[in-house]
Amino acid sequence: MPNDVFTLTRDDYLSDEVWAAERARIFHRGWMLAGAGQRLQRGNRTVVELAGESVLLTRDLEGRLHAFANVCRHRGARLCEAHDTSSQGSLMCPYHAWTYALDGRLIATPHLDETEVDKSTLPLWQYHLREWQGLVFVSLHPEPPEFDQWLRDHAPEMLKFERFGLDQLQVVASTRCDIAANWKIVIENYQECLHCTRVHPELVDITPIYRTGWVTDHEREDGGVTVDRAKAGSPYRNPLPSLPGVSGADHTSYFGATVFANGFVDITDPSVVISTLYPDGPHRTVMTMDFLFHPDAINTPGFDPQPIIDFNVLVGNQDNAVCESVHRGVSSKAFEHGVLTPKDEYVIWFTQHYRNVMA
Ligand code: FES
Ligand SMILES: [Fe+2]
């Protein structure tokens, strides 16, 4: 068989021009995943970096989510720093103390009365936001693509997850890591399991098909792969109330989906992990993981999510190390492109999809 199906090129991974084009054609044109909505309680705010744009997410006192440019309408100061997740019910600019409600209205301008400032004309600049199955999506484009069609085009596998009732789950923990690798390398790595035997001994121990190099089970139509939950060393051994919609083989299965271009959703009953990538230039990707369970599981006496969190962080760190190695490798002058094999079928899909969107 000729190896004539190629990966992306060194320039695709490393060049500043390609990164600028990705921002314009992918990240700032369509919708970006911004994490699990349940991370944000009423009255809270958080800051996310969406491909070079600082975006303020708030949940107002009525429970509605909003996305704003993280910039003051007065003279442009940054409103909130990344570590500021306080819940004060309003947002005060650190420069001259102009204050905004969590729905973006400008409500106070110290030393300036209504003859000097018309507050009603100066709300925060708002972005489009959509909450779908507990996942928050933001579009920075003034006229974003229609969301449902966009989801069908860019995350078709996600549609199968509606049956798991993700919007009924609660976030019990969130982690964050910094990966010295291009965002596309992180996604490509997620799309194949030729590396699993070598890189993830603990994972292949409970997911037998991964020993073969296949990332999905072609004998199954539901997209799942079998997990040996009872095996010694499995973090899924302790029985807990299941996710909604789980039945039959779902109890001992793993399901995964990619949200193009910046997220993964992993489901292994009784938990869901939402991984969100925040690309920061060609050479760095920040990733957060939100861990979700059903309230019935959380309320079970002795509920302990830590083994599942630790296991997923372990596998994630194993992946991050090889992604950083690839990033260093493709920086070689010798690297023009790599080759893709039949077992890289989802990497091939990703590469073609990326080329289409960038064209
Ligand atoms: S820049 Fe924000 S109050 Fe002046
Ligand atoms: Fe992996």
What are the boundaries of each domain within the chain?
1-28+156-359, 31-144
Cα 208 to middle of ligand 2, angstroms: 14
**From 78, 93, 116, mutation site for ligand 1 pocket: most ligand atoms within 8 A of C-beta:** 93
In the Cβ-directed half-sphere of 11, how many Cα atoms lie within 13 Å? 4
**From 73, 91, 98, mutation site for ligand 1 pocket: most ligand atoms within 8 A of C-beta:** 98
Cα separation, 153 vs 352, in Å, equals: 13
Cα 188 to middle of ligand 2, angstroms: 10
pLDDT at 89: 85
Cα separation, 187 vs 171, in Å, equals: 23
Cα separation, 67 vs 130, in Å, equals: 10
Q: Angle, to 10 degrees, between the axis of helix 183-190 and the axis of helix 306-330?
A: 120
pLDDT at 85: 67
Single-letter amino acid, residue 28: H
Nearest ligand, measured from the Cα of 264: 2
Contact residues of ligand 1, CB 6 A cut-off: 72, 74-75, 77, 93, 95-96, 98
* Residue 250, both tokens: 């779902």
**Sequence-ordered list of residues with C-beta below 8 angstroms from that of 207, at least 6 positions apart, any chain:** 196, 225, 226, 227, 228, 254
Q: Which atom of ligand 1 is nearest to the CA of 96?
A: 3
Cα separation, 255 vs 223, in Å, equals: 7
Cα separation, 102 vs 57, in Å, equals: 9
Cα 81 to middle of ligand 1, angstroms: 14
Cα 100 to middle of ligand 1, angstroms: 11
Nearest ligand, measured from the Cα of 92: 1
pLDDT at 230: 94
pLDDT at 188: 98
Cα 92 to middle of ligand 2, angstroms: 42
Does domain 1-28+156-359 correspond to CATH entry 3.90.380.10? yes
> Which stretches in the chain have pLDDT values below 70?
83-87
pLDDT at 20: 98
Contact call for residues 175 and 288 (beta carbons, < 8 A) = yes
Cα separation, 258 vs 190, in Å, equals: 8
What one-character-per-residue DSSP string does 152-187 give? HHH-GGGGGGGGG-GGG-EEEEEEEEEESS-HHHHH
Cα 279 to middle of ligand 2, angstroms: 19
Does domain 31-144 correspond to CATH entry 3.40.1280.10? no
Where residue 134 falls (left for φ over 0; alpha for ψ -120 to 50; beta otherwise) is left
pLDDT at 229: 96
Q: Whose CA is nearest to atom 4 of ligand 1?
A: 96
